[in-house]
Amino acid sequence: MEFDLASQPEIVQQAVDYALQAWDLAKSWALSPAAWSQFALLIVAYLLAVVAARRLRGFLTRVLTPAPEADSYLAQGRRAALLTLPLLLPLLAYLFTAIGESVVRSVFDSGAVIAFGKRVFLFLAVRTLVREIIKDPFLNLLGRYVLIPVAALYAVGLLDPLIGKLNELTISLGNISFTVMSLVRGVIAGGVLFWLGGWSNRQTTQFIENQKDMRPSLRQLTAKVLEFTIFGIAFLLLLNIMGINLSALAVIGGAIGVGLGFGLQKIASNFISGVILLIEGQATVGDFVELDGGESGQIVKMTARAAILETFDGRWIVVPNEDFITTRVVNYSDSGSANRYEAPFSVSYDTDINLVPGIIEAAVSTHPDVLDTPFPPDCELRGFGDSGIDFAVEFWVNGIDDGANKYTSDVLFLIWNALKDHDIEIPYPQRVVELKGSLPQVQG
């Protein structure tokens, strides 16, 4: 079968050439006894795989299914293994076909048909893996648009020629050169490596956060060090996979160093300040701090560049780490240490003031959040005012008197009720007015 395609574009000529090769291959398979025997072995291998997969699925389901309440690492691993059961059929078919291929090649010295069938079963296994097992959005996207097409090209025998073509194309950037295949391999490997880096970083961060014996600042520092280490290793592995000589990055590294020295001084300063804060533990997540400029809030997150404060009215304040080192910062340590507050009040001049301290201290002590250590409630006489005698009760609590906690308000309620129960008058403002001379006469 010949066609005159001289006037057609080159791509059309190549397509027709490939089609003719496929047609000749199909005719040779159809007329060859060896090919028919390989087709028969493929069918037998598939039927055996169906029977074996059906029996193994039931057995493995019984063995791998953990108790519903089990939550150990072993139980989680068994549940993950259960998800891979759909792979049984294509993988068993691939295995039986591989055995049949070795038999056919020893008898006929040819196995193209059964080798093609083996690659098809591998493609079906890859498609099952992507469609039914991989649930992560990024990995599923990578599987649908990279893994499945690669498996399809491998199944039809076009993967090796395509790789050869891509290896012939070279891209040069200054003194760095790499092939298009290296770039494609780097994109795929980079996506997988950085996904693995993110996953391992989340796992290690969760593990570190569960170590309650470590100081919060030390946990934060350890998590950050591991994060930079994991992604640094991923970056170096990516460069190695792409075939880029690390020594070729010396010029780029020098340029980055100059940039850090001139344009990124503040970023470098804030990063180093953040490391110092995490090491010394002067301020960490959970602490309530007040800055030199008057801003105050609870530290809810510490990044490489800044700390994020959340005020009690819901605002977020981003504070550079350098400010915690170079300016005055008041740390109320809302994460555990006690703070002292006071509630002022007054009583009438008719009151026996010797009774007031004991009454008020006993009342304030009934508050569930008021502490006995470092000091119990202490009622002090503060002065003699215009309208009454001024007192104040000092008390210690864990936390800040704001937001969800209203300690001073609660204590004032206790003071009011205690004074009322003991008939002690809380004075109103009083003024004495002296009139000189006689009152004017009112004439009716």
| Residue 365: domain span | 338-421
Torsion of CA 204, 207, 208, 213, to 10 degrees: -160
pLDDT, tens digit (0-9, with 9 covering 90-100), for 291-340: 887 778 888 887 777 888 888 777 888 888 888 888 888 877 655 568 88
Residues 318 and 366 in one domain: no
Residue type, 152: A
Joined tokens for residue 282: 């002067």
Contact between residue 413 and residue 345 where contact means Cβ atoms under 8 Å apart: no
Identify whether 320 is preceded by a cis peptide bond (ω within 30 of 0).
no
Residues 192 and 130 in one domain: no
For residue 45, pLDDT beyond 70: yes
Question: Does residue 21 fall inside a structural domain?
Answer: no
Which sign, positive or negative, has the C-alpha torsion 365, 369, 372, 377? negative
Number of domains in the chain: 4
Nearest alpha-carbon partner for 356 in 295, 423, 403: 423
Quick one: pLDDT band at residue 439, thresholds 50, 70, 90?
low
Q: CA 380 → CA 329, 341, 393, 394, 407, distances in Å?
A: 30, 13, 6, 8, 18
Question: Does residue 444 fall inside a structural domain?
Answer: no
* pLDDT averaged over every residue in the chain: 78
pLDDT, tens digit (0-9, with 9 covering 90-100), for 396-407: 988 777 767 788
Mean pLDDT of 140-165: 84
Question: Does residue 71 fall inside a structural domain?
Answer: yes
End-to-end CA distance of the chain: 139
Question: Does residue 430 fall inside a structural domain?
Answer: no
- Cα distance between residue 108 and residue 312, in whole Å: 82
Q: What per-residue confidence (pLDDT) applies to 115?
A: 78
Q: What per-residue confidence (pLDDT) applies to 15?
A: 62
Residues 192 and 91 in one domain: no
Quick one: pLDDT band at residue 8, thresholds 50, 70, 90?
low
- Cα distance between residue 407 and residue 400, in whole Å: 8
The residue assigned the tokens 């068994």 is: 78
For the chain, count helices (H), then strands (E): 15, 10
Residues 313 and 350 in one domain: no
Question: Three-state SS for 391?
Answer: strand
Question: Does residue 121 fall inside a structural domain?
Answer: yes
- Cα distance between residue 24 and residue 16, in whole Å: 12
Single residue among 98, 125, 157 that ends a domain in this structure = 157
Residues 131 and 215 in one domain: no
Share of the chain above pLDDT 90, in %: 12
Joined tokens for residue 227: 């994060």
Residues 135 and 66 in one domain: yes
